[in-house]
Amino acid sequence: MTEQDGVSDGFYGERTLRNPDALIRRAGLRGDPDQDQHFLVDDRVLDRVPTYLPDDVDTSHVLEVGPGTGALTDRLLALADHVTVVERDVRLADFLRREFADDIEAGDLTILEGDALEVDLPDFTACVANLPYGISSEITFRLLPEGKPLVLMFQKEFAERMAAESATDAYGRLSVSAQHYADIEVVEPVPPTAFSPPPAVDSAVVRTTPRDPDYEVDDPEFFLDFVKALFTQRRKTIRNGIRNTTHITGIEHPEKVIEAVEDHDEVLLRKRAGKLAPEQFAELATIAVDVERRESDA
């Protein structure tokens, strides 16, 4: 058994919550910024993070990526029927096995040791995590297609770009791609002082609520590649963006695609990527797919 170094919080029922600083002391490990390790140690933030899950969320199996010394894990165990954590640092994974031995023995906690971008993820019902910032984008776009509620910690700038609306400075490929899968909300800013060691940037908690987009795309993979391509040419018009990015989109007949867009809505070709709403990207991608199929069948 571990020392009882926390207090019980009403939201977390009868569980006595571990003190994050005490966890670090017991682990005998300091966070390593070079390894993207910044442990969340502010009790107030830790207590709030899981509360951002939707009220009706299924907590039968909650996933956490990058648990560190387990302060957030402890709170998730008070809420969920089962928690799976993914930790690539062997030392931290060993500590978690010792610290949470009772939860593991009870069948409430599973520890997956390995890289979250490579391990087979379980069939989780929600994910709550203080992500390693170096893999924020990659892991987010591994999680979003699963269609489950997510509460994730990011660099503040990254979080704001995810949630940005069209025609704003922060709007870009990340905004369109993330909002294709879910409603994105920045729910809380978090200062560097909430972490040990403090990162060099401000952070923010993001909630994603899965939903189907209010537009249709025939080929989701092409749609995301198309968005990526046009934002590499964000200072160019869409007309030139289509012409200049065939190496990304794989479009073999760009001029015919442009002609088809002209027939549909010529104004779109004069716009730039940052001014297009997600549904307009979908319009363009659908036209491009239709033209390419028609030309390949000709």
What is the mean predicted confidence (pLDDT) over 185-205? Answer: 97
**List of residues 6+ apart from 179 with CB closer than 8 A:** 162, 213, 278
Range of weakest confidence among 112-121, 212-221, 229-238, 252-261: 212-221
Amino acid at 56: D
Query: In this structure, are residues 137 and 174 in contact, taking their beta carbons and an 8 Å threshold?
Result: yes
pLDDT single digits (tens) 38-66: 999 999 999 999 999 999 999 999 999 99
The whole-number pLDDT of residue 32 equals: 81
User: Considering only CA atoms, which of 147, 138, 137 is closest in space to residue 57?
Assistant: 147
For the entire predicted model, the pTM comes to 0.91
Domains for the chain: give ranges and CATH numbers: 10-210 (3.40.50.150), 220-297 (1.10.8)
| CA-CA-CA-CA torsion sign (25, 81, 195, 7) | negative
pLDDT single digits (tens) 223-233: 999 999 999 99
Kindly tell me if the per-residue pLDDT of 2 is higher than 60.
no
Q: How far apart are the first and last CA of the chain?
A: 72
The whole-number pLDDT of residue 1 equals: 35
**Rounded CA separation 61/86 (Å):** 13
What is the mean predicted confidence (pLDDT) over 131-153? Answer: 95
Counting Cα atoms < 13 Å in the Cβ hemisphere of 266 gives 3
User: Binding site membership: which residues?
Assistant: 38, 40, 66, 87, 115, 130
The whole-number pLDDT of residue 5 equals: 60
Kindly tell me if the per-residue pLDDT of 181 is higher than 70.
yes
The whole-number pLDDT of residue 289 equals: 96
Beta strands (DSSP E) in the chain are: 39-40, 62-65, 83-87, 109-113, 126-130, 150-155, 182-190, 195-196, 203-210
The whole-number pLDDT of residue 4 equals: 47
Kindly tell me if the per-residue pLDDT of 137 is higher than 60.
yes
**Rounded CA separation 149/40 (Å):** 21
Kindly tell me if the per-residue pLDDT of 117 is higher than 80.
yes
Say if residue 163 is exposed, middle or buried (CB neighbours under 10 Å; 0-12, 13-18, 19+): buried
Q: Name the pLDDT band for 10 (thresholds 50, 70, 90).
A: low
**Rounded CA separation 68/235 (Å):** 41
Mean predicted lDDT score pLDDT of the chain: 94
Kindly tell me if the per-residue pLDDT of 191 is higher than 90.
yes
Q: Name the pLDDT band for 285 (thresholds 50, 70, 90).
A: very high
**Rounded CA separation 7/20 (Å):** 12
What is the mean predicted confidence (pLDDT) over 81-106? Answer: 97
Chain mean position to CA 222: 20
- Tell me the sheet residues that pair with 188: 205
Q: Name the pLDDT band for 26 (thresholds 50, 70, 90).
A: very high
Q: Name the pLDDT band for 8 (thresholds 50, 70, 90).
A: low
Range of weakest confidence among 30-34, 42-46, 247-251: 30-34
Query: In this structure, are residues 144 and 150 in contact, taking their beta carbons and an 8 Å threshold?
Result: yes
User: Binding site membership for S-adenosyl-L-methionine: which residues?
Assistant: 38, 40, 66, 87, 115, 130
